[in-house]
Amino acid sequence: MNSNSIRNNSSGADKANANIMKPSQMPRSPMSRRRVLALGAAAGSLALSSRAGAVVRLDITQGNIQPLPIAIPNFIGGTQDDDETAISVTQVISADLQRSGLFAPIDPAAFLEKIATVDTVPNFPDWRTINAQALVTGRLTRQGDGRLKAEFRLWDVVAGQQLAGQQYFTTPDNWRRIAHIIADAIYERITGEGGYFDSRVVFVDETGPKIRRVKRLAIMDQDGANVRYLTRGDELVLTPRFSPSTQEITYMAYGEGDPRVYLLNIETGQREIVGNFPGMSFAPRFSPDGQRVIMSLQENSNSNLFVMDLRSKATTRLTNTQAIDTAPCYSPDGTQICFESDRGGQPQIYVMPAVGGPAQRISFGDGIYSTPVWSPSGDYIAFTRQYENKFAIGVMKPDGSGERILTEGFHNEGPTFAPNGRVIMFFRDEEGGPGPSLFTIDIAGRNDQKVPTPSFASDPAWSPLLS
């Protein structure tokens, strides 16, 4: 693989169709996320512009959030053949919103009005009666060229007005992505924050007994759907991380010779070694521009941080300590690096300039701090904390202030932020349990939820938004 193929693959709308299993069969139809539904022109009587100051709005910066009651009747099939897909899309949207903890989809059995079209204004009193605050209506229609058209409208039931309306075109096998994109649009319009449903997670799938665990790289949608395996399990793989383009991952594997950091193109399946270091290289992570990989390199008893430019292949040493420096992660603007180091005796979190230089310790709570990861918006660093033989996931501000433990137990490790920075995924092992699973929790410590995976799972890394 060369850097040209990276740039080519990361350009344009092809990202939407990433499918490493059958790359040759992948259609290349574009899917626009921002195409505003042109119903205003098609149906003039529906000129219900969304005014500022809508009543329905969820302030998720508040401490105690009541999930917003939302009605999501099944989308209408434009033709009879579309009915099944329309129902599936509706279910995925509803599940996304429910799992966020911010929405409470209303049982469809309570609905009074049957939505038969998206082209007319719903009967708001019917929806107010069942205490819905928001209503989503939508339609899926197979086009003459085989594409799928998805339309939806988000209604403010209390104010009796439209909040959003958009349409999207894609290939039918992309129906799940359409659902996630619509769920993101609803989430964004109601909360004012960016969404995160149209994203993926790369993780390590674990099978077999603990003393002979087989680990495979796997990728799935953030809701656990569409699991695909990227390696066969014949070699040990650890700590996969997404590139910003979502086309590549970097990870550590035990192949021939020393265990090292690799780069894998998930569309083509091509892989290459990152850097030509003597000894073990590990704990890789991409820079925010995707042009560099930062990692640890073992040097005798010590481990230091290095960065490699993926185009020039030039490597630069960033630290030179008689200690273990590892788990590096860039700030989203690329100017700083957080990492863990035991230079002070036991592992703590440090921040230093991205080019190296003096490092400031930022973790000063009780216990050992490790696996720091910077939030996409830059406001928090999440970490694993070990204290009194418990493992916790927490967040602190990049200056070390405002520390907050989100969950604590026998073993919680390896946080990764959702693209909007509001949710963290990590892996958890119960005491005496057979193996780890993935969980999500929001950055206030609410809404602790298991993520479905086919078997044991660890080392999750959340992708950026796919579009």
Partner 1 sequence: MGLDGSNGGTGMNGMSIVRGAKFAAIIVAGLMIAGCAKQQDTTGMTAAAVPGSPQDFLVNVGDRVFFDTDSSDLSDQARATLDKQSEWLNHYNRYNFTIEGHADERGTREYNLALGARRAETVREYLVSRGVSAQRMRTISYGKERPVATCDDISCWSQNRRAVIVLDQSS
Using CB under 8 A as the criterion, which residues of the chain lie in contact with partner 1 when the complex forms?
209-211, 213, 215, 236, 238-239, 252, 258-259, 279-280, 282-283, 296, 298, 300-303, 324, 326-327, 340, 342, 346-347, 367-368, 370-371, 384, 386-389, 411, 413-414, 429, 431-432, 458-459
Bridge partner list, 338: 329, 351
State the minimum distance, in angstroms, from the CB of residue 169 to partner 1.
Answer: 42
Q: Cβ 399 to partner 1, closest distance in Å?
A: 23
Cβ of residue 456: shortest distance to partner 1, in angstroms?
A: 13
Closest to partner 1 by CB, 159 vs 280, is 280
Nearer to partner 1, 63 or 432 (CB): 432
CA quadruple 397, 403, 406, 412: dihedral sign: positive
Closest approach, Cβ 339 to partner 1, in A, equals 10
Q: How far is the CB of 347 from partner 1 (least distance, A)?
A: 6
Give 160: exposed, middle or buried? Use CB within 10 Å, 0-12, 13-18, 19+: middle
Closer to partner 1 by CB, 269 or 278: give it. Answer: 278
* CA–CA gap between residue 338 and residue 329 (Å, rounded): 5
Biggest CA–CA distance in the chain, Å, is: 74
Nearer to partner 1, 60 or 368 (CB): 368
CB of residue 276 to partner 1, shortest distance in Å: 17
Of 130 and 324, which has the nearer Cβ to partner 1? 324
SS3 341: strand
> Which single residue is written with the structure tokens 């990276």?
6
Output the DSSP codes for 196-220. -SS-EEEEEEEES-GGG-EEEEEEE
Q: How many CB atoms within 10 Å of residue 431? A: 8
Kindly tell me which of 15 and 390 has the beta carbon lying closer to partner 1: 390
In the bound state with partner 1, the residue whose beta carbon lies nearer, of 221 and 429, is 429
Shortest distance in whole angstroms from residue 182 CB to partner 1: 36
Nearer to partner 1, 268 or 321 (CB): 321
DSSP 244-311: TTSSEEEEEE--SSS-EEEEEETTT--EEESS--SS-EEEEEE-TTSSEEEEEEEETTEEEEEEEETT
Query: Residue 207 Cβ, how far from partner 1 at the closest point, in Å?
Result: 14
Map tokens 């080019």 to a residue: 355
Identity (one letter) of the amino acid at 139?
R
CB 290 within 8 A of CB 20: no
Alpha-carbon torsion, ordered 119, 123, 127, 128, to 10 deg: 140
